[in-house]
Structure formats: structure tokens, C-alpha cells
Amino acid sequence: MEFSKAFLTIFALQALLITSAKHLTAPATSDIFREYIGAEFNNIKFSDVPINPNVEFHFILAFAIDYTTSSSPSPTNGKFNIFWDNDNLSASKVSAIKKKHSNVKVALSLGGDSVGGGSAYFSPSSVDSWVSNAISSLTNIIQEYNLDGIDIDYEHFQGDPDTFAECIGQLITALKKNGVISFASIAPYDDDEVQSHYLALWKSYGHLIDYVNFQFYAYDAGTTVSQFMNYFETQTSKYNGGKVLASFSTDGSGGLSPENGFFTACQRLKSKKELHGIFIWSADDSMSRGFPYEKQSQALLAISH
């Protein structure tokens, strides 16, 4: 009996040590590269974008929105419809790119800035009805398109922060519990209203959010490397414990551009073991230039940590 107890104790300790070792050896940095695609209807295809086999590559379809698809779109209380370039980025194209590249996953982003020429609002009738509709409609889309995750990119709100937190938090909880998605991300930027909603979500449901696609390109176009580093530190402290990804835009809108030192900043983050990954807005804008910064971003991430 005493031998059995001792054996069980040793076995339990071994299991604990193995589990601890897994956490201790987990890299502080990551090789996640993510890119939004499909919002601008310029005939871009998944196969146009260069994919480095040594990174985890996430395409993010932009966007699915809970609005009608009529000429004058109106809110549908969580009943999502497809608003990305579905002709060129169809379900069969998703399957084809994932079959060709084993390191590729595909997500869809919810919301976005605009729809039909106006702002796209988060506009729930109630928490329960919105969540129920969202789970149903998104499960259908995700399963039809063989998608892997969702990204939350609402930027305009007709609900208070707590309502947003409960709607989105319950949605992510259900989709993960049901095995519909394997990851979820959020895409806030430095705006008081936006931050109040996403930080409320983070406070209650941050443990379910795998990546923070912080829109650093929403800062001024003249952003310097040192400013970027300060912004990154500030947002990392706000989304405490989260994988905040470095980001830039190829539409020339703002933030720290590759020309002005984005990759210098990434090297600094990497040396501090704080580079959790990179995302770009967007493949659509990069296509005319031949994707040089997509290649450079992935090459940087693929270097052994």
C-alpha cells in the first residue's frame, strides 16, 4: 500500500513537472503573421499573397457584418451576412489555399468601419437576441467556409461597453465551446469610445481572446520608431497578458510605415521578446506593389527565436 502511494506520488510529480516544462519552454515571441483581405473588391485572391512556410499565416476575411445586403443596409441584430469579395474568396478557394499550405488558417472579421457608404454600427436589440442570432448565423458561415477563427472589428457603437462585452464575450465563449472556432482576436485602436468598449470586453473575457490586432496605423502618419515603441508599451499594459501584435497599413493611412522604421521597431521588440506577431491592413492594398512588406514581415518572424 505504501509503495503504491509512493509510486502514485512520483507519477503525479512527473506529470506536474512535464506540464510545468511545457509552460517554461513556451516561446515568449511568436511567428504569427496575419493579413486582412477582401474588403476592397479589387479581385485579389488568396493565391496572390506570398506565404512563408515557416510562419503561422492567418488570412482574415473583411468583413462579415450584421446588416442587410440591400442598397441601403440596415442592422439585423446579429444576423451576419458576407460583405467580402466572395467571388474571388469563396469557400472552395478557402479549402484550396489551406490544402496547398498546411500553415494557413482563415478567419473572418466582424464589423469594420463602414457598410454601404455609412458607418457599420454594433447595434443589438438585446444581449440574448443578438447572441442567439450571431451564434446561429456565424456558425453557418464558418462551417460552410471551413474557417478557423473570428476577429472583432466593430468601430462604431449603439450599445454601451458592458452590452458589447457581454454580446461579444458570450459569442466567443459559445463558438469555442462548440468547437466552431479555435481562436479569436480583437482589433481596437486608440480612440476613447473604441477603447472603452474593447477594454470592457477584455476585462471580462480577455482569457478567451488569443490575439489583440491593435491598429497602430490609426496613429498619425508621422509616427516615429520611439513613438511606436511607447504606443506599443502603453497598449500592452492596457491589454495586460494579451498577445498584442505589431501592425502597419499598406494604404498609406498612418502609423509607423515600413519606410520610416517599422521593421526597426519590430527588431527592438524581438530583442525584448515582445514581438508576438505582425498583421497588415491589407492584402488588397499591397497587391499593386507585389507584396514586398508581406515577404519582409514573414522573413523576420521566421528567423529562429
Q: CATH for 32-302, among 3.40.50.300, 3.40.50.11260, 3.20.20.80, 3.30.2310.20?
A: 3.20.20.80
pLDDT tens sequence for the chain (305 residues): 444 444 444 444 444 443 333 333 333 457 999 999 999 999 999 999 999 999 999 999 999 999 999 999 999 999 999 999 999 999 999 999 999 999 999 999 999 999 999 999 999 999 999 999 999 999 999 999 999 999 999 999 999 999 999 999 999 999 999 999 999 999 999 999 999 999 999 999 999 999 999 999 999 999 999 999 999 999 999 999 999 999 999 998 999 999 999 999 999 999 999 999 999 999 999 999 999 999 999 999 999 64
- Please tell me which residue in 2, 40, 144, 155 is annotated as part of the active site: 155
Domain map of the chain by residue range?
32-302
Q: Rounded CA gap, 102 and 86, in Å?
A: 22
294 catalytic residue (yes or no):
no
Nearest to 142 by CA among 173, 110, 102: 110
Q: Rounded CA gap, 104 and 59, in Å?
A: 7
> How far is residue 41 from each of residues 85, 143, 157, measured CA to CA in Å?
5, 23, 26
Q: Rounded CA gap, 294 and 291, in Å?
A: 5
> Quick check: bond before 4 cis, omega within 30?
no
How many residues appear in the chain? 305
pLDDT in the model for residue 30? 75
Nearest to 180 by CA among 212, 133, 138, 130: 138
Nearest to 154 by CA among 119, 125, 182, 183: 119
Residue 281 near residue 251, CB atoms below 8 Å: yes
With 0-12 CB in 10 A as exposed, 13-18 as middle and 19+ as buried, what is 48? Answer: middle
Q: Rounded CA gap, 208 and 56, in Å?
A: 19
Nearest to 80 by CA among 60, 107, 110, 106: 110
Provide the whole-model pTM: 0.90
202 Cβ contact partners less than 8 Å away, ≥ 6 residues apart: 186, 209, 238, 239, 242
